[in-house]
Structures are given as structure tokens and as C-alpha cells.
Amino acid sequence: MLSEEEVRAAAEAAIDEIPDELAARIGEVAIVIEDSHPEDLMGIYDPVGGIQRVIVFREANPTAEDVRTTVLHEIGHFFGMDEDQLWDAGYG
């Protein structure tokens, strides 16, 4: 399992991949790392009080590539993409 620091680095690298014009629409994104979710989710996009949060669950993301996919999947939800669209785009 990746350490919290490795997950954070992979998540931040994924955020850095987002094109500037899209990143500007999102604003600041807080990355929250938690160990696990009771339903084995890989991540959650959570816009709380105007703060965009992506929560990444370490146990469900064993590699940096998994973290990348999870972060970009959750950011896709910000842009209104549903699960089918995200799977079709390769972020399932």
C-alpha cells in the first residue's frame, strides 16, 4: 500500500495534469487522504461550502496510477460527468 505521502504526491500530480482553462473553473482543490471507506470506494468528490475536495482512500488505490485515475474520475464529477461517461473516458 502506498504511504499517505505517496498518495498525496500522486493526487497532486493528477491535479497538475488538468489543463489550465479547466483548472480555473474548479478553483482550489483540497486533497484529503483517508485509509479506507466502509463501502470500498476509491474516492469521493465532495464540494463542501464552496471548497472542492477530493477524498482518496489509500487501501482502494494501491498504485500511483490508481490514485491518478481516481482523482481525475472525481474531478470529472465536478464537470457533470456521470459514471458511464467517466468509464467511457477511461476514468472508471
Quick: pLDDT tens for 41-67.
Answer: 999 999 877 788 999 999 999 999 999
Mean pLDDT of 24-31: 86
What's the burial of 8, exposed, middle or buried (CB within 10 Å: 0-12/13-18/19+)? middle
Question: How far apart are the C-alpha atoms of 33 and 74, rounded to whole Å?
Answer: 14
- According to the model, what pLDDT value does residue 57 have? 98
pTM, entire model:
0.91
Which structural domains are found in the chain, ordered by start?
4-85 (3.30.2010.20)
CB atoms within 10 A of CB 22: 11
* Residue 7: pLDDT band with limits 50, 70, 90: very high
